[in-house]
Chains A and B, each alone.
Chain A
Amino acid sequence: GAGVSQSPSNKVTEKGKDVELRCDPISGHTALYWYRQSLGQGLEFLIYFQGNSAPDKSGLPSDRFSAERTGGSVSTLTIQRTQQEDSAVYLCASSSFSDTQYFGPGTRLTVL
């Protein structure tokens, strides 16, 4: 079946611009996760959604980062006023409740 999909695959933006990254989880998966992979920090957990429950935002690196999940399915990660240190690969994963997480291909974000 279809796996986790993410769009765009690559995004180049200028410092100070806002960006939106999209994740389509595996159909039927109730849990959705965002991670960031960068050379300096490795793989960092950002945020977790379980169904329609309000997410725990404490893992987000700054208040410029926000995420939402509409209808318990598609999720959007928004970064406002991007900075060069935001450059990274943003990975999305989904799972059945608390089970194995399956990852999408990622969005490579480059902030110039």
Chain B
Amino acid sequence: AQSVAQPEDQVNVAEGNPLTVKCTYSVSGNPYLFWYVQYPNRGLQFLLKYITGDNLVKGSYGFEAEFNKSQTSFHLKKPSALVSDSALYFCAVRDLRRGGADGLTFGKGTHLIIQP
């Protein structure tokens, strides 16, 4: 079985400050990790993914995420937050061995609020 934990329901950051949204995962095999963002009344937008290779993954809108195998974490980061980054962020995992058959397992989501 696979699972994802996003320990913070909400993260508040002042505009211009760095932000981190936390994610930890559990899979039996090697993980395939994703971050998605959801704006109000919209679907999920893909931000970035990790399969193999460099532990630091760069994605859309200046976001990046760091894969840490020993801590089973995949935290989302951005050096300087914008008010427009305010949204709901989801971390997701899939077990590479299963192909697509299990779909993605999502965390509960973290509300990111950037204060002007």
A residues with a Cβ closer than 8 A to B are: 4, 31, 33, 35, 42-43, 45-46, 48, 50, 56, 59, 91, 93, 95, 97-98, 100-106
Contact = CB atoms under 8 A, between A and B. Distances in A.
Task: Across the A-B interface, give the 5 residue pairs with the lowest CB-CB distance, nearest first.
Answer: A45-B103, A43-B106, A103-B44, A103-B43, A105-B43
A48 B101 contact: yes
Contacts of A43: 90, 104, 106, 109
A55 to B, nearest CB: 9
Task: Say whether chain B's binding surface is mostly helix, strand, loop, or mixed.
Answer: loop
Interface of B: 34, 36, 42-46, 49, 90, 99-109
Contacts of B46: 100-103
A45 B105 contact: yes
Contacts of A97: 99-100
Given A103-B43, A106-B43, A45 B100 contact: no
Nearest to A108: B41
Nearest to B105: A45
Given A43-B106, A97-B100, 18 more contacts: A33-B100, A35-B103, A43-B109, A45-B103, A46-B103, A48-B101, A48-B102, A50-B99, A50-B100, A91-B44, A98-B99, A100-B34, A102-B46, A103-B36, A103-B44, A104-B43, A105-B42, A106-B42
